[in-house]
Structure 1
Amino acid sequence: MKRETLFLKIVVILIGLPVLALCIFWLPTIPNKTAGDYPVYLVYPVLIGVYVTVMAYFVALYQALRLLSYIDKNKAFSELSIKALKNIIYCAIIISILYGAGMPLIYEMAQEADAPGLVVLGLVMTCAPIVIAVFAAVLQKLLKNAIEIKSENDLTV
């Protein structure tokens, strides 16, 4: 099992590295680059929203790493795994709500720049976390049922 989870842990880390690089090198330059294109009341709320969603994203990645470590320790069918999945669901919902709430700002920026692709990107960033939250909720429900079946079998023996 450790080899498969090691691969998945590496994938989770590799998923996080480009986002971290963007947050360190690209996002801080946005206010300077967009100074003449967009009003300040549009740029900074969007920038703050992106940073908050990135924090939720990294919390979700950390919870995924914890879940993989529980699988390594043969604690996959435990309340700890259910809690990690619940935290992933919360993070996905937070990201979706923040992008949904920021859609008026994204729409306004798209109107200013005449770029309708920004609205589509905002919709994708609103809907994709919902899909992840639903998937995690289904996994959480299956895990709860498996734990219940396991506890019944342990009582039977």
Structure 2
Amino acid sequence: MKQVSTLFLKIAVILIGIPILALCIFLVPKLGDLAAQLLPEAAYIKYLVWIVFYASAIPFYFALYQAFKLLRYIDKNEAFSQISVKALMKIKYCAVTISVLHVLVLPLFYLFTEIDDAPGVIFVGLLVPFASMVIAVFAAVLQKLLQEAIDIKSENDLTV
């Protein structure tokens, strides 16, 4: 049963990465061009958009890799180990990095809001940083719980 559930989660991790890859290939260049069209006096903004989105894809895929490693540790019955805690810590740092990068882009969303007169665009710009921070907090809580469980386990091993 455990192998089936971790297999399902491994497939889900892979399937999560595919749409982001498609967005990076097809949507990010169009977003950069759109930013350059909306702000013709700052045509370099296109490259800023590309840098931020592609730079945030790197920690995203690194976090997916760490999640995949964590699932392998569960398969090997090494879930309650320091390597699992380190994987959760890396996932947390990746989520914080993604959130910070997308917060840096929020002034662009404000400029788009001013041009199009659509205040809902700012809320769309807040989705990724908010979701990333939720993941970071969740990973931090899991990391702390796992570390406490490992400490309790090591205390019990020493008393026996």
Instruction: Name the TM-score, length of structure 1 as normaliser.
Output: 0.91
| Mapped contact 2:31–2:49 kept (Cα < 8 A) | no
Shift in Å, 1:86: 0.5
Report the secondary structure of 2:37's partner residue. Answer: coil
Query: Residue 54 of structure 2 aligns with which residue?
Result: 51
Instruction: Report the equivalent of 2:157.
Output: 154
Structure 1 vs Structure 2: percent identity of aligned residues? Answer: 55
CA distance in 1, matches of 2:8, 2:34: 38
- Quote the residue 2:78 is aligned against: 75
Give the Å deviation of 1:19: 0.7
Question: Counterpart amino acid of 2:97?
Answer: I
Residue 93 of structure 2: which of 90, 100, 122 is its match? 90
Q: CA deviation at 1:41?
A: 3.5
Instruction: Give how far 1:99 is off.
Output: 1.3
Tell me what 1:7 maps to.
8
Report the counterpart of residue 114 of structure 1 in structure 2.
Answer: 117
Residue 100 of structure 1: how far off its partner (Å):
1.3
Deviation track 1:49-86 (CA, whole Å, cap 9, x = no partner) reads: 11111111111111110110110111101111011000
Structure 1 residue 62 and structure 2 residue 65: aligned? yes
The amino acid across from 2:19 in the alignment is P
Shift of 1:128: 1.4
Separation of aligned partners in 2, 1:38 and 1:120: 20
CA distance in 2, matches of 1:92, 1:140: 14
* Aligned 8 A contact 1:37 1:113 in 2: no
Which one of the candidate residues 115, 127, 133 is aligned to 1:130?
Answer: 133
In the alignment, structure 1 segments of 5+ residues that lack a partner are none
Residue 102 of structure 1 and its aligned partner are, at CA, apart by 1.6
Distance 1:47 1:116 in 2: 23
1 CA distance for matches of 2:44 and 2:110? 13
Give the deviation of 1:141 after TM superposition. 0.4
TM-score where L is the length of structure 2: 0.90
